[in-house]
Structure formats: C-alpha cells, structure tokens
Amino acid sequence: MFFKNIDFSKFSSIKIGQPIEVLMIQKGDSIPKDRLIIGHANNLLVSPTPPLLMMLSKDFSFIDLKDNTLTIGCATPTGKIVSFAKKNNIANFEFISKLPGSLGGMVAMNAGVKSYEIFNILKEIKIDNRWIPKEEIEYGYRFAKLNGVATEVRFEIEYGFNQTLLEELVSLRANQPKAPSAGSAFKNPKGDYAGRLIDAVGLKGYNKNGMEWSRVHANFLVNNGGGTFEDAKYLIDLAKERVFDKFGILLEEEIKIL
C-alpha cells in the first residue's frame, strides 16, 4: 500500500474539496479498518474535515472472462465494462453506459437506471477477501450493506448485447445537467420524484454563491464555479427542510457527505 495526494476540488465530480492523502490498497494488502473506502468520487461531497480515506489501486482494475463467469475488479471504470460487454456480445450491462465511476462505487450503492440495477446481474462479491453470495447481502433501491471492502465481483453471463436498449437508456439521461455535480442529490421517495418535490417548493434554479439546484433537473446540485462544501450543505439542508414542511416527506441523500 502507498499514499497518494488527491485534490478533490479537481478529482471529485462536483469539484469540491481539498488535497487529501489517500491510502491506496494493492493486491495482497490487508485492508485497514480505520479508513473509509471511496471510488472515483462521482457521488461524494467532501467536507473540510473528512474521515481517513482509502482507495483501491489499479491492481483492482481488470476484467477476466472464463467459461461462463465474468470476474471484474472493483476499480474498473464503468466505460471499460460496457466496451468489453459490447466487444464480447455480453448482455445485461447496457444500463451501465454513461453511469460514471467504477464498479465498486456502483456495487456500494446498487446503482442503476430505472428497473436496471447492478445487483440484478451480479452473482457474488469478494468482500474483505471472502466471496459472499448475493443472497447473503442486504440490498435494495440505491443501497447495499457490504459490511466490508468489496474488491472483485463475479457475474454469470448471458450473450446478446442490445445496442437499442443501450441507446434507449442513455437517452433517459439526456435531461441531466452538464455542469459539475455529484449525480442525483436525493433518492426518489416511494411513488414520487425528488426533482419534482424540490421544484414544487420553489428551489429549482435556487443558488447560494456557486452552488445551485439545477434549472435542467432540480435533483442535481451543480457547481457553477467556486462552490464550497458549506454552500452545498446549506442547499441540501434547505431542500430537506422545505420538502418536509410542505409534503411531510423526509428526503434521503443519495450523495455521500464525508
């Protein structure tokens, strides 16, 4: 293992943070218990006082196809996975296209699009160097209780990559803002949409300094330049307060606040 200095104002997708010494885990390392594992920082909001952090090194960026089993390292970028699936005519990975980050981040939050989720297609996950069947892991809409650090994932594959499905799913994301953000700020409450609720309480387009509830999609907290952690946290808390006051619904963050 080794340390890497990462500037989260450049590395994180929302462009907020500061340089932090992050412990990089290599193959064969014992995984520390006193650090928080992060991926490619696509859904992170880093405070000025984050916990101790660690990441998987490039040792865990690999794709191995043997017989009918696909094993993928958790540091593997999502774009690389989709390209591999397309090249090898493997089905069920179409929804990953345009989802940012790495496989580990997807697994940690059971990421997906509409009814397509990563846990629908995986078979088992290597957590703290032990293979755990999916059935033994508690997971649901945008969450998974891994109770450890995931390093590899196994999938039982089917053949027949569907380019039409990929294009349909990519088009669903066409209404997302291009400005730096951490993806959807809140999970959709059952039977409703966080974006609709934020819009309904008058916050669509509302800003504090460089941070704004996007005019393109209200559930995206975007950084128009110079936004800080304090600005972002203010807008998140304001949205939760207003939506609860008006609708009695407590919005739950999808963005991870460190």
- From its phi and psi, is residue 208 left (phi > 0), alpha (psi between -120 and 50) or beta? beta
- Cβ count near 79 (within 10 Å): 15
Contact of 141 with 114, CB cutoff 8 Å: no
Closest by CA position to 134, among listed 115, 117, 158, 114: 117
Catalytic residue numbers read 142, 184, 254
206-209 long-range Cβ contacts below 8 angstroms, 24+ apart: 206/235, 206/238, 207/235, 208/234, 208/235
Buried b / exposed e along 85-113 (16+ C-beta atoms within 10 A):
bbeeebebbbbbbbbbbbbbbbbbbbbbb
Report the C-alpha gap between 115 and 141 in whole angstroms: 10
**3-state SS, residue 79:** helix
